[in-house]
Chain A
Amino acid sequence: MTDKALSIENVQKDRGKTRVLHDITLSLKPGERVALLGHNGAGKSTLIKAILGLIPHEAGTIRIGDAIPGSGTARQDTAYLPEAVSFHPALTGREQLTLFARLSGQKADIEGLLSRVGLGDAMDRRIGAYSKGMRQRLGLAQVLLGQPKLALLDEPTSGLDPISRQDLYAIIDELAGQGTAVLIASHALTEVEARTDRIAILRKGRLVADDTLANLSEAAGLPIRLRVRAAQNPDALAQAMGGTRVNGASVEILCAPDQKMQALRHIASMGDAVADLDMTPPRLEDLYRHFAQEDLS
């Protein structure tokens, strides 16, 4: 027995002569929410399909619990939401979800699940009349079937409006709360930032980061941005503090995390010359850019 819901070790995948996944090692514990970030073509969907056993990989091992990808146990334990999924337009939401429940061999509360994802009123309408967001919700409903041990969500927020996204993350939290390990491939950095335990970044098929947001910030050593608004003379202030002048009245200073306090003391010592202060720690977006784009140029 392993205590991991998903373990990936040294996985490689080739498409023709190009290697699309290089030596990927990643694991998820039960109840963990991990964001998988990367550009288009970085290998996110390929990795997910390899985990699902839909495509073979050349080297390395993938285990879902103890099961091999694509085996009966692995399929039973895994839930998947494909990117921009659609279903047969002639079926209703209820019929489609009933099909999935029967395929998974589960007795499921179809109506309850559809209401949970906000399709309570639309469950007897044809999927052909659904909006993109509603189809995405239907896809999400089938993820919730039968308490999976591992959920793989490929761009789950695409096509969802902001409120639906909040609902989506509430559902993801609920899944994680019942012990499901959730892997979310996403572009929506700001949402992922607050809603995941760990962040993995893929660049050109290589895993370049796999840690918590705080640890990643530290490792990247990205500067903290201090913006100081001058009371009277911004030029003098800029000169005194060694920053750059921006938009008329403010001065911007970039400082390393370990020099933050020193800079703040310096600003405080200036007294009345400073009218206001804004401090921005590096965001996931900066981190993402740092890890996903370094040596790209």
Chain B
Amino acid sequence: MTRFLAITRAEMLILRRNRWLFMATLIMVLFALALTFAGSAPTGTLGVDMLTVSVASMTTLSVYLAPLLALMISFDAIAGESDRGSLALILTYPAGRGEILMGKFTAHLAALSFAMIVGFGTAGAVAAWFGGAGAESVLALIRLILTSILLGAVFLALGYLMSSLAGGATAAAGLSAGLWLIFVVLYDLGLLGAVVMDQSGGFTQSVFPWVMVANPADAFRLWNIAGSEGVAITSGMTGVAQALPVWAAPASLLLWPVLAFTLARLAFRRVEP
């Protein structure tokens, strides 16, 4: 127990010292604030408060940014140690591989959570101050923060998976970039293509929503949209959300961290330092 915490403490020190925590938080705050102000125009026409619009914009932002920030910390976790030669050393200590991975995960997730809470929290507070907020929009903001952390957890674990599979840190960085591109950009493009090709509409109506929700990034989006009527109106993505049962997106986003972490653990077991 104390062993995994020892790893966590050291990783937290590293994140603080190499400015990752500072930079990630800064990026989150700046982007969230920019989107809040830029996206504040349609409040009047849609009849929702400014925080709702802000949450809708930040949801789109988080789909891209949460996986990216997560992968940026995690790709180096195993491959970097392996490059430095310290992986072999740390594995000769009584801590097990599971403890090492869990220790890093805890630290990285804490740092990511900090950046999310500060970033979205600041933007949310500013939006509420200038444009008003209701109970529902505050709930939407909290949901956004929590689901962003979950999405980050998925990509942290996927980053460890890439880090275990790649031979070195450079290859791990490349694999992680590819992974981000596939999950966040290409997957949706592929689905879009499939919908366009689908003449009869059978795929679009019955299969498509499920394929979409299987991607954690889309599950994140759907959960936030389905959860709040106001957010759904502003984002214009109600169709898919209504085609699925309420539990589908949360189930996907809650299962993914477990699945990804298990895969990473299995891949890490096979790493010969």
Contact = CB atoms under 8 A, between A and B. Distances in A.
Interface of A: 49, 52-55, 72, 75-76, 78, 80-88, 90-91, 95-96, 99-100, 102-105, 126, 139, 142
A104 B86 CA distance: 15
A86 B85 contact: yes
B273 interface: yes
16 contacts: A49-B273, A52-B92, A54-B273, A75-B94, A82-B88, A85-B86, A85-B89, A87-B84, A95-B10, A99-B10, A102-B3, A103-B6, A103-B94, A104-B94, A105-B2, A142-B89
B6 A85 contact: no
Contacts of B17: 90-91, 126
Interface of B: 2-3, 5-7, 9-10, 13-14, 17-18, 80, 84-86, 88-95, 272-273
B84 A88 contact: yes
Nearest first, the 7 closest Cβ-Cβ pairs linking A and B are A102-B6, A86-B84, A103-B93, A90-B17, A99-B10, A80-B92, A85-B85
Q: Interface SS of chain A: helix, strand, loop or mixed?
A: mixed
Q: Interface SS of chain B: helix, strand, loop or mixed?
A: helix
A53 B13 CA distance: 30
A87 B80 CA distance: 10
B258 to A, nearest CB: 26
Contacts of A103: 3, 6-7, 90, 93-95
B89 A90 contact: no
Nearest to A101: B6
Given A102-B3, A103-B95, 6 more contacts: A53-B92, A55-B272, A90-B17, A90-B18, A102-B9, A142-B89
A49 B271 CA distance: 13
B86 A86 contact: yes
A190 B156 CA distance: 49
Contact of A91 (B14, B80, B85, B95): B14
Given A75-B94, A103-B95, A80 B88 contact: yes
Contacts of A139: 89
Nearest to A79: B92
A120 to B, nearest CB: 21
A80 B87 CA distance: 12
Contacts of A72: 94
Nearest to B17: A90
B91 A54 contact: yes
B273 A90 contact: no
A54 B88 CA distance: 7
Contacts of B3: 102-103, 105
B192 to A, nearest CB: 42
The interface centre, meaning the residue of B3, B84, B86, B89 with most chain A CB atoms within 10 A of its CB, is: B89
Contacts of A52: 88, 91-92
A78 B14 contact: no
A140 to B, nearest CB: 12
B93 to A, nearest CB: 4
Contacts of B272: 54-55
B13 A95 contact: yes
A65 to B, nearest CB: 15
The interface centre, meaning the residue of A72, A76, A78, A85 with most chain B CB atoms within 10 A of its CB, is: A85
Contacts of A85: 84-86, 89
Contacts of A81: 89
Contact of B89 (A55, A76, A82, A91): A82
A80 B7 CA distance: 19
A142 B84 CA distance: 16
A82 B85 contact: yes
Contacts of A90: 13-14, 17-18
